[in-house]
């Protein structure tokens, strides 16, 4: 198919593969289509959040500047306010929603002889307390947000500016330990910027942070006040990080000849170094033309006229 050009503000219809050519005519078909559309949205959120988290974890293990490069692109693409906007809903209802048909789930569908779907079977749903798919997506998004702002004061201030504290505090109503852990981590890093009055009025949250989140010896999250932080210092921090990332990219991937593609240059740059002494000594060395024309002068200067250090022992 021919490529199409779309602006950033143009919306993408992700449900084009779900909607049928003919609209449903019965109540059961309408209910089934509604469940299928909502399930499709949940799968998209789950897949995108899991892929982003895996990429960030892989880049952080591979090289820290690769992680920072992807992180800055996510921050500049408004990833932080987008995640906060996602959590600015009834998360408890989102996690407990049951957009699935039990008769069509795996492996129930394989063992079921009758596949007739009725309105009663659609309304019955399953007996699970949480929808594992939505819970998994929420935990992934919180972990992505936590990785983006960890040890970054400028990005932590973005959480304060976007008023994330009440949004995250409402999400604490979901009684799941792993979800609550990452919410408390996000609240902990911005506590010092929220002021003393917020800490006084949210002592239950402060106690939960103290009991569940790991602390360090010189950690001053509970009593530090950084409300007077200057905004230009935060901009300098991001600019300095961007400079270091650009220098790393130029050093590792910048020198690409005109007749060589970027993919070939990347493969060549990441090829392992040969540490075998015999193969290194036997490899052909290409000397520059300037050296070949003036090698006699180099011999006279560096070899014949060289006076070694007499204090060094002779090699025998």
pLDDT in tens, 80-102: 999 999 999 999 999 988 777 76
Mean pLDDT value of segment 202-231: 79
Q: Whole-angstrom distance between the N-terminal and C-terminal Cα of the chain? A: 73
- On the question of pLDDT at 207 being above 90, the answer is yes
High-pLDDT (> 70) share of the chain, %: 73
What is the model's pTM?
A: 0.74
| Mean pLDDT value across the chain | 81
- Tell which phi-psi region holds residue 22, choosing left (phi > 0), alpha (psi between -120 and 50) or beta: beta
Q: Supply the pLDDT for residue 3.
A: 45
Q: Supply the pLDDT for residue 312.
A: 45
User: 250, exposed or middle or buried, with CB in 10 Å at 0-12, 13-18, 19+?
Assistant: exposed
Mean pLDDT value of segment 129-157: 92
Mean pLDDT value of segment 27-50: 85
The answer to which of 2-6, 153-157, 292-296 has the lowest mean pLDDT is: 2-6
Q: Supply the pLDDT for residue 82.
A: 95
């Amino acid at each position: 198919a021919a490529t199409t050009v779309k602006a950033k503000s143009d919306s993408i219809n992700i449900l084009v593969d779900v909607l049928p050519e003919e609209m449903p005519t019965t109540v059961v078909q309408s209910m089934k289509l509604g469940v299928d559309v909502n399930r499709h949205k949940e799968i998209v959120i789950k897949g995108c959040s899991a892929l982003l988290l895996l990429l960030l974890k892989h880049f952080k293990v591979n090289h820290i500047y690769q992680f920072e490069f992807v992180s800055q692109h996510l921050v500049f693409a408004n990833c932080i306010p987008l995640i906060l906007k996602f959590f600015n809903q009834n998360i408890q209802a989102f996690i407990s929603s049951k957009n699935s048909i039990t008769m069509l789930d795996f492996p129930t569908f394989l063992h079921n002889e009758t596949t007739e779907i009725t309105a009663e079977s659609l309304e019955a749903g399953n007996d699970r307390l949480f929808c594992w798919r939505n819970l998994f997506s929420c935990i992934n998004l919180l972990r992505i947000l936590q990785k983006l702002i960890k040890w970054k004061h400028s990005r932590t201030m973005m959480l304060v500016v976007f008023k994330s504290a009440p949004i995250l505090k409402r999400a604490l109503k979901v009684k799941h330990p792993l979800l609550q852990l990452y919410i408390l981590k996000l609240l902990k890093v911005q506590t010092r910027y929220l002021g003393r009055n917020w800490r006084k009025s949210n002592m239950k949250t402060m106690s939960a942070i103290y009991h569940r989140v790991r602390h360090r010896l010189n950690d001053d999250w509970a009593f530090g006040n950084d409300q007077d932080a200057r905004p230009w210092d935060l901009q300098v921090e991001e600019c300095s990080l961007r400079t270091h990332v650009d220098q790393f990219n130029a050093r590792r991937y910048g020198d690409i000849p005109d007749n060589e593609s970027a993919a070939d240059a990347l493969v060549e740059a990441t090829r392992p170094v040969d540490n075998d002494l015999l193969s290194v000594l036997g490899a052909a060395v290409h000397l520059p033309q300037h050296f070949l024309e003036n090698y006699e002068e180099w011999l006279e200067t560096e070899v014949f006229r060289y006076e070694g250090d007499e204090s060094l022992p002779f090699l025998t």
